[in-house]
Amino acid sequence: MQKVKQKIEKGKRIFTHRKDSCRVKPGDHIYSYRGFGSYSHHGIYVSEDCVIHFIPTESHDTNGVSGTEEEEEEESAPCTKCGYQHNVHLGVVKSCLDCFLSHGAHLSESLHVYEYEESSILMKLKRAGSCSTSKSFSPETVVKLATALHKENCFGLYNLVDNNCEHFATFCKTGIRSSEQVHSVMNKPIIPILVNLIKNATSTLANADRSRLQN
């Protein structure tokens, strides 16, 4: 029974790229699942217990609702290990691995390494946002690029569809912004229709506002 469990665990690691933190190397593109596994957060491991990742460029409360001053102060208290502050450090940030893995009050135990130069066949079998067929830069180049982007905090405005944390990590690894998570969702027939409906509705409202102001 123990051997069977070990084989199952090995199979999980192959298809999910799960790693222990001690086995992660500088230059690795790492990710962790959030929202009960519904999506993943990505970053670049640059040194011992240090990750550079891209988060929303505008301050927001964890629950989307402003709390009391005491609650906000507690949420933005600096990490005792790395000094990272939620809702204070925005855009391209550097934090310890615990801060990268945490989401609100929850600390995820799912640490994974994004694989590059994966075969197109295996890529279709694996979950979107876990691998790519693209070739990666050398680890040294990846770390230098991530460090430079963090120093200047110059990766543009965060956008869930066009410029998210996976776009940042893949750019550091390949020089190309891509997000397999977004690509897989947008390939579903209903999604582009909904996106176009939202865009058209937004445009209609904006035009109506302009007409009202002119009159």
Give the Cα-Cα-Cα angle 172, 176, 180 (nearest 5 degrees). Answer: 95
Report residue 146's pLDDT band, with 50, 70 and 90 as the boundaries: very high
Task: Tell me how far apart the alpha carbons of residues 55 and 116 are, in angstroms, rounded to a whole number.
Answer: 23
Within 8 A by CB and 6+ apart from 67, the residues are 61, 75
Mean pLDDT of the chain: 79
Q: What is the CATH number of domain 2-178?
A: 3.90.1720.10
Closest CA to 41 of 50, 51, 49: 51
Model pLDDT, residue 174: 98
Task: Tell me how far apart the alpha carbons of residues 27 and 39 are, in angstroms, rounded to a whole number.
Answer: 22
Q: Which two tokens stand for residue 25?
A: 């190397």
Closest CA to 122 of 15, 32, 28: 15
Instruction: Give the tens place of pLDDT for each residue, 73-123.
Output: 445 689 999 999 988 899 999 999 999 998 755 566 689 999 999 998 888
Q: Which two tokens stand for residue 149?
A: 């982007």
Strands (E), 59-185: 91-95, 102-103, 106-107, 112-113
Evaluate if residue 35 carries a pLDDT over 60. yes
Q: Which has more confidence, 175 or 39?
A: 175
